[in-house]
Amino acid sequence: MKSAADLCSQASQVVISGHLRADGDCLGAAIVLTHALRAMGKQVTILLPDAPDPRYGFLEAQTPWELWNGELPEADLFILCDCNTLSRLGEMGEAVKNAEFPLLLLDHHPLSDDSPTWAAKVHDQTAAASGLLAVEFVDFLGVPLAKESLEGAFVALMTDTGWLKYSNADARAFSVAARLVQEGVNVDACYQKVYQQVEQGRPLGIAAALKNVEYLESGKIALASVSTADLSAAHAELQDTDEIMDILRSVHSVEVVALLTERNGEPKLSLRSKSWLDVNQVARGLGGGGHTRAAGATLAGKSFTEALDDVRAALLRAVQAGL
């Protein structure tokens, strides 16, 4: 972490960003770094490539962010959180690629083939969340964890570990979670903000997706799909898919769960596995990526039906090969 710390010490104007439709981990990591660097006397801007997942909008109350408007602010350091390829920044990624400031990575995903040249990295695939890495990096910097960043750090850790129930919830994750609670996080209030503020159409959206479940390979694969047309017909909404994945993963025979939805007119795939299937490899074969047990892809240029056929075939190949 020393080279990353040196970069931060030398910088005066810092831009912190993350992937498209930033999730709790991406935002939490950015928030932790923002308050730490401000405590070091740096001018810091959180600049997101587009609007984040709406369920995490409450985090903006204590740590405002800006959205990409076609121009990058003046900076002498750019920090990218929770992803390691500029393509996941959409149009903003090209501007970052052509800029002259050094790039610092803070991430826990496997490095992508098209990952840029980093001036320094805080990178650890064994970390349960990028937010956890951010907390550890702030400790390395010797800066106290700001009160304003506690909730963001907790959201990052909890959402990426399924509230400490996924396989990545190791002793390290539990230790940081306990520390954050000890320092003042209200667990109940945080849970309600993240998971109990959904739109009325969400249960109908879950029902619409579960209506289309297929079980393949003797029940090892659970494949669900719900198109925009399906949601419209059911007067439903589906901004988040975690509940569907959890329901299907609870089936005793299921090893891998796949959910195909549509976002901005393009098929979007989410993948989760229980114990042995590497869904990162499946997702990469479809143009995406992620973790061994959680990954995803956007099947650009495909119709919903074509995408569903491709996903089904990819899952069958992977399970039959025992990946």
Average pLDDT, the chain: 94
Give percent above pLDDT 90 in the chain: 85
Cβ contact 271:283 at 8 Å: yes
Please name which of 14, 8, 11 lies closest in space to residue 73, comparing C-alpha atoms.
14
Q: Which domains does the chain have, with CATH numbers?
A: 2-195 (3.90.1640.10), 202-321 (3.10.310.30)
**Residue type present at position 243:** E
User: Cβ atoms within 10 A of the Cβ of 317, count?
Assistant: 12
Torsion, Cα 228 53 4 293, to 10 degrees, reads: -60
Length of the chain as a residue count: 323
C-alpha 304 chain-centroid distance: 23
Full-model pTM: 0.84
Per DSSP bridges, beta strands 120-123 and 103-107 are: parallel
pLDDT of 77 reads 97
Higher local confidence (pLDDT), 294 or 255: 255
Q: Can you point out the beta strands (E) in the chain?
A: 13-18, 43-48, 66-67, 77-81, 103-107, 120-123, 214-216, 221-225, 256-263, 266-273, 289-290, 294-298
pLDDT of 240 strictly over 80: no
Residue 281 corresponds to which tokens in the numbers above?
Answer: 């490899």
pLDDT of 253 reads 96
Q: What is the mean pLDDT of residues 145-160?
A: 97
pLDDT band at 80 (very low <50, low <70, confident <90, very high): very high
Please name which of 55, 58, 11 lies closest in space to residue 34, comparing C-alpha atoms.
11
Instruction: Express each pLDDT in 208-219 by its tens digit.
Output: 999 999 999 999
| C-alpha–C-alpha distance, residues 48 and 27, integer Å | 9
Instruction: Express each pLDDT in 101-150 by its tens digit.
Output: 999 999 999 888 778 889 999 999 999 999 999 999 999 999 999 999 99
| C-alpha–C-alpha distance, residues 60 and 135, integer Å | 19
**Helix ranges restricted to H, 256-303:** 279-285
Residue 272, judged by CB atoms within 10 A of its CB (0-12, 13-18, 19+), counts as buried
pLDDT of 200 reads 87
pLDDT of 262 strictly over 90: yes
Cβ contact 267:256 at 8 Å: no
| C-alpha–C-alpha distance, residues 78 and 102, integer Å | 6
Q: What is the mean pLDDT of residues 18-26?
A: 95
Cα 285 to Cα 69, 266, 318, distances in angstroms = 32, 17, 10
Residue at token pair 């993350």: 18
